[in-house]
Amino acid sequence: MYLTPSTNVQLNPNFVKTASHLTGEWCRINQKLILACDMDETLLTETEGKRQLVLRPRILYMLRKLQQFYELCLVTYSTRDRTEDILRLKLDPDGRLFNGRVLCREDILAGFTNKREALFAHLPQSGSSKGLVKAKRLKPPAWSYVVILDDFPSAWSNFTTCIPIRPFVVSSLVNAARKSGVKNTPGERGYIMCVCKFFVKLHSIVFQGVRTLEDNGMRVKGEKVIESQKTGHNNSVTAFSTLVNLKRQINSAQKFLSMCYIDPGQLFSFETNRPSVEKHPRSAFGQPDFNANSNLGRGEA
């Protein structure tokens, strides 16, 4: 039995065991982030009347591709029995995607108020977390490397690193027209590829400083490299800091949501795509002085 440092809330022992390596140091050394995914209407959905379970087009391709950059977790309000059936039949038959890192309704409602609290409590805690600490205040060492994908960010208390994905819902009309599901629904395939592109870019931005240190490290044969330099331990760039800066640049919660729903792959191109405005020196009256740097302004031909 595993308990949180502050309460008698029982943790999921399988998740705790399979996530025991997910510390901040491990993320830096292995250059991996942690991606926590919701399940219903994020990775898959059910048709009207719950007669058929439909995987989101290209979602398995995306998850398999992201495995080389992220340690995947599944956090869902679905019951354990239903979740295990879906994993076994559709989502992760061989157990290699999530590797046992799955939290269900029973785990979240065991004493936590939202998904973020439950996930953070199940990740390895620092040795300094002694005494009574409220679950909502738990911040494991790897917390700033955690990224979330969910169609309902409120379930994570709108945590900064939660990326809102467009809800995946299959209408009865679409299902009737395409009995094979929605694999060919216009836009869905391309949209998921944009989501995948976003997460690959995010990983690249977080760890590009680490790679630069490794690629540019000139050393004499046999010379040892300091571990903090080799792993980028001093690099302050994390998923949290990167997304905070991104949201500051966009400067609009509604615009961020719209971009996530339309083409999240372009989020990191936001600044470069903005039209540049040429700056001119201003006169004492606050008006642009177009003659300040001009020969004509000095009466010269």
pLDDT in tens, 27-37: 999 999 999 99
Residue 80 pLDDT exceeds 90 = yes
Q: Residue 9's pLDDT is what?
A: 82
What average pLDDT score do residues 180-201 get?
78
To the nearest whole number, what is the mean pLDDT of the chain?
79
Rounded percentage of the chain residues whose pLDDT exceeds 90: 63
Residue 44 pLDDT exceeds 80 = yes
pTM of the prediction?
Answer: 0.77
Block residue for tokens 């994390």: 238
DSSP per-residue letters across 124-173:
PPPTT--S---GGG---TTGGGEEEEES-GGGGTT-TTEEEPPP----HH
Rounded percentage of the chain residues whose pLDDT exceeds 70: 69
For residue 149, report the phi and psi dihedrals to the nearest 5 degrees: -125, 115
Residue 122 pLDDT exceeds 80 = yes
Query: How many residues are given for the chain?
Result: 301
Q: In which band, very low, low, confident or very high, does the pLDDT at 225 lie, cut at 50, 70 and 90?
A: very low
Fold assignment, 13-266:
Rossmann fold (3.40.50)
Q: Residue 271's pLDDT is what?
A: 54
Residue 115 pLDDT exceeds 70 = yes
* Least confident stretch, 42-56, 97-111, 242-256: 42-56
Question: Domain residues of the chain, as ranges?
Answer: 13-266
163-193 burial string, b = 16+ CB within 10 Å, else e?
bbbbebebeeeebeeeeebbeebeebbebbb
pLDDT in tens, 4-22: 554 568 899 999 999 999 9
Q: Residue 239's pLDDT is what?
A: 97
* Least confident stretch, 40-54, 165-179, 248-262: 165-179
Element (H or E) spanning 122, and its range?
Answer: helix 115-122
* Least confident stretch, 47-51, 144-148, 277-281: 277-281
